[in-house]
Amino acid sequence: MFYRAAKPFLFRLPAETAHTATKRLLRLGQGTPVEEALTARYRVDDPRLHTELFGLEFPTPVGVAAGFDKNAEIPGMLGALGFGHVEVGAVTAEGQVGNPRPRLFRLPEDRALVNRMGFNNAGADVVGPRLADTDASVPLGVNIGKSKVTPLDDAPADYRYSYEQTAAGGDYFVVNVSSPNTPGLRDLQNREHLEAIIGELLDADARPLLVKLSPDLTDGAVEDALAVVDDLDLDGVIATNTTVERPDTLRNHNRVETGGLSGAPIEERATEMVRFVAERTDVPVVGVGGVSDAAGAYAKIRAGASLVQLYTALVYEGPALARDINRGLLDLLERDGFDSVEDAVGADL
């Protein structure tokens, strides 16, 4: 009700300004009775939604994707809103301001966003201690990206530094080589670079360790990346990041902005990539891309996702989204005769 009233005002603001204001408001309530009140209102506690992965207990399969809470400022509040995990970042070794503004654009008719943020974050030296001091009720993932100033050949050491600075507060770690907004970053998805980065992180005992892939990879490139996942015994794959492609169906004028497209227009494509990955590897898959309701989350789960994440839909649906998806998942599990969400994973494979 509150978000429905506030949404017209927020949508009059530039997208990034509205996002910052929302985070500041949530931060004010973190660690206060407000957080407890939100937990009572929005959390769905049902054992059928519990998932155990990477030695971690996820109270629900629905989490917040990286990008929403880059600097680990509000993970407690996001958990209170009913999310089963929160992935912070992307965190880089060097703090960086990112690309010039404006760099975040709404496409309301398309229920989408375009962003070219450029890994703006406070840096691992700031985020690491903040994470270590966080008393979150859900698992916390740390999405790690390459600093813009770091040459590609020096990327392994750059990723390792970010991991080492955030290791004390993270529950799992994600190698992000798939953002379209850092020059040259996607080149790190090729086998040689990816093996070097992952090898460096494994040498630093980074576990559980996942890799996040782009939806713009060819089938062959995805298979090459999955070969690295299997050869180096990674713990999981996140599919997918944003896309630089623009479907012909987009209507909003912001479709012409450069950057990564997220939200409803990539939902079907992301679900198909979840299926493609799940059919080719035995490690858990985290499905991301266009999730905005229980049906969409369930489709990714049945396609092979053990967990799902979202970000864009929060902008359009507001704080009750995780609760509504979790309640809807329970209805869908009951309809299809599954005793738990874990039983539904990969049902359509």
CA distances for 168 relative to 81, 171, 266, angstroms: 24, 8, 34
* Spatial separation of the C-alpha atoms in residues 330 and 312, rounded to whole Å: 23
The residue annotated as part of the active site, out of 178, 179, 292, 306, is 179
Q: What is the dihedral of CA 332, 316, 58, 23, to 10 degrees?
A: -160
Binding-site residues for substrate, please? 70, 115-119, 176, 181, 241-242
Binding-site residues, please? 66-70, 90, 115-119, 143, 176, 181, 212, 240-242, 263, 290, 311-312
> What is 31-54 written as a DSSP string?
TSHHHHHHHHHH----GGG-EEET
Structure tokens at 332: 């869908």
User: Which region, left, alpha or beta, applies to residue 67 given φ > 0 means left and ψ of -120 to 50 means alpha?
Assistant: left
| H or E element at residue 295 | helix 294-302
* Spatial separation of the C-alpha atoms in residues 345 and 336, rounded to whole Å: 12
Which phi and psi (to 5°) does residue 325 adopt? -65, -45
CA dihedral sign of residues 242, 244, 250, 254: positive
* Spatial separation of the C-alpha atoms in residues 334 and 336, rounded to whole Å: 5
As to burial, measured by CB atoms within 10 angstroms (0-12 exposed, 13-18 middle, 19+ buried), residue 256 is exposed
Binding-site residues for FMN, please? 66-70, 90, 143, 176, 212, 240, 263, 290, 311-312
Report whether 297 contacts 332 (CB < 8 A).
Answer: no
Start-end of H helices in 60-190: 75-80, 124-132, 155-166
Task: Please indicate whether residue 340 is annotated as part of the active site.
Answer: no
* Spatial separation of the C-alpha atoms in residues 168 and 147, rounded to whole Å: 21
Catalytic residue positions, numbered: 179
